[in-house]
Structure 1
């Protein structure tokens, strides 16, 4: 291998041949020039890797701090701050995860190329090595199909922003709040406190209750002999008061609550429905407040809520 390195160094058209001319003794000079060339290849490889990582970091930083609001939500200035914070956090998490993946890929490609170049400089045959690695890769691919499936599904999930940390999702196998998202698994915590680890490749459909906005519904059953006009006016008054309350308009509600009127006719009651569009995953808080205010308004008017 030493003779091959010396001969290869003599015929090198750039680095190694240049160092060879600078050193007096041919045998020693060839080995020294080869060693210097290998060291330079490795140094350049690490420098390029660090530069690429720095560029990826800048791109990720810009993507994470970009504007996340849509025109629809800008119209509702009271809820802008809350939606802005949530969407920016989602963008930041997605950008950081994708940045980590890109950095790993860049490291593998750049350092792998540098190692192959060094092996070639050492006159180690690369073709059989690449063939062996290819065969090994195929074997590992067959044995790790599920793992590859999980990673591919995780990549598309991140690129499409299907869900993020803090979202309440129905993943089929489990329903809960997302606590962590990786390329391989998604970690959920359900209402009972159990932690579920769901492989991304096994998720065939996602129901996201927290993306963009949520909706709070409240069905109000009243007796058939109730004054329908009065009930509707009372519910509309409650909706207007809730929308006018700064504690809710600025941090919980996206649009003014709507009264749909009689939504259903049951055996014993007329059912009115009140709907409110809220910030993601905040519908339960708004629904509880609506129940309290509707109950107080109907009690004040002497209208009973039926079963």
Structure 2
């Protein structure tokens, strides 16, 4: 069968029909097979990655939402790379149907191939740096960061670049190879911290009450807390009173809700147990209300 020298396709309708009858099913099978492989990869690997991220969040006491977001970003990047690999494989298999050997084609480009290789050095650096950004969890889509001289919300991360939208709405496209320092302004956990004052004679009782209230709050608001609230520091406030510092690691977006609820529960519990409680504010102490007898 003669092959059109320019388009590498049959030169007459009869040859077209014969060629499609001989090679069409193979080409269709290649395309369908690659599509199925990609869908299976995204489904199976995506499920595995999300489950692994969920386990890691529990083990490290990190914000599950932030870890899941990082996993989704990594999945989209790996899916992009795997799709490029499948396209290359598919192109090689289809060219084989035209009796074109990919190895011979690559050898034939000669000097052009060398030039392309030199030109892709920066691209390779972008991909490598982008891979480490994702694996190390330096930042993820939705985080507020400072990278490459731009500060704003991360809109997109792919193997080649990071896209950031600043406060004025401008989009900054930054090659991953140009990112030498990344500042993530969206920490996964925020520390809640405030002081309480109790009589020295009630300090041990106060410790037990804080631990009990913290355990109850952790049961009710576990998604917002990395660990139950606890007393991290104790010092003398006056000759008769001690100052205790209550701390807790919480999700940044839930910080104020958790603090208000914790203060409310502490106040109610201390009143129920008839233990004097005060909340120092700005170096002064809000007068405590002595529990009714």
**TM-score normalised according to structure 1 size:** 0.60
Distance 1:143 1:73, change over 3 A: closer
Residue 239 of structure 1: CA displacement?
Answer: 6.5
Distance in structure 1 (CA, Å) of the matches to 2:77 and 2:173: 18
Distance in structure 2 (CA, Å) of the matches to 1:38 and 1:134: 32
| Of 29, 35, 38, the match for 1:56 | 38
Question: Which runs of no fewer than 5 residues in structure 1 stay unpaired?
Answer: 6-27
Distance 1:71 1:96, change over 3 A: closer
Distance in structure 2 (CA, Å) of the matches to 1:170 and 1:232: 46
Distance in structure 2 (CA, Å) of the matches to 1:90 and 1:72: 11
Distance in structure 1 (CA, Å) of the matches to 2:27 and 2:77: 24
The aligned counterpart of 1:13 is: none
The aligned counterpart of 2:254 is: 285
Residue 164 of structure 1 aligns to a residue in which SS?
coil
The aligned counterpart of 2:286 is: none
CA contact (8 A) 2:157 2:163 kept: yes
CA contact (8 A) 2:148 2:174 kept: no
CA contact (8 A) 1:243 1:253 kept: no
CA-based RMSD: 5.0
Distance in structure 2 (CA, Å) of the matches to 1:196 and 1:229: 60
Return the structure number with greater helix share: 1
The aligned counterpart of 2:289 is: none
Distance in structure 2 (CA, Å) of the matches to 1:110 and 1:75: 41
The question of 1:73 aligning with 2:58 is answered yes
Residue 252 of structure 1: CA displacement?
Answer: 0.8
Distance 1:117 1:62, change over 3 A: closer
The question of 1:150 aligning with 2:119 is answered no
- How big is each residue's C-alpha offset from its partner over 1:72-127, in whole Å with a ceiling of 9 and x where there is no partner? 83899xx9xx83x6655543443243223212221123213432652649xxx984
Distance 1:219 1:146, change over 3 A: farther
The aligned counterpart of 2:112 is: 136
Distance in structure 2 (CA, Å) of the matches to 1:149 and 1:114: 30
What is the correspondence of 1:248-259 to structure 2 with a 5 Å cutoff?
Answer: 249-259=221-231
Distance in structure 2 (CA, Å) of the matches to 1:92 and 1:241: 36
Distance 1:135 1:215, change over 3 A: same
Aligned positions, number? 262
Distance in structure 2 (CA, Å) of the matches to 1:166 and 1:232: 44
The aligned counterpart of 1:17 is: none
Distance in structure 1 (CA, Å) of the matches to 2:112 and 2:243: 66
Distance in structure 2 (CA, Å) of the matches to 1:191 and 1:218: 30
- How big is each residue's C-alpha offset from its partner over 1:172-199, in whole Å with a ceiling of 9 and x where there is no partner? 7455543322222223456787654432
Question: Which runs of no fewer than 5 residues in structure 2 stay unpaired?
Answer: 6-10, 271-275, 284-293
The aligned counterpart of 2:287 is: none
- How big is each residue's C-alpha offset from its partner over 1:237-279, in whole Å with a ceiling of 9 and x where there is no partner? 556535524796143113101221049x9xxxx986433233x
- How big is each residue's C-alpha offset from its partner over 1:264-300, in whole Å with a ceiling of 9 and x where there is no partner? x9xxxx986433233xxx23532564278559959x7
CA contact (8 A) 1:49 1:107 kept: no
CA contact (8 A) 1:53 1:103 kept: no
The aligned counterpart of 1:216 is: 191
Distance 1:90 1:285, change over 3 A: same
The aligned counterpart of 2:155 is: 179
Distance 1:303 1:258, change over 3 A: closer
CA contact (8 A) 1:171 1:207 kept: yes
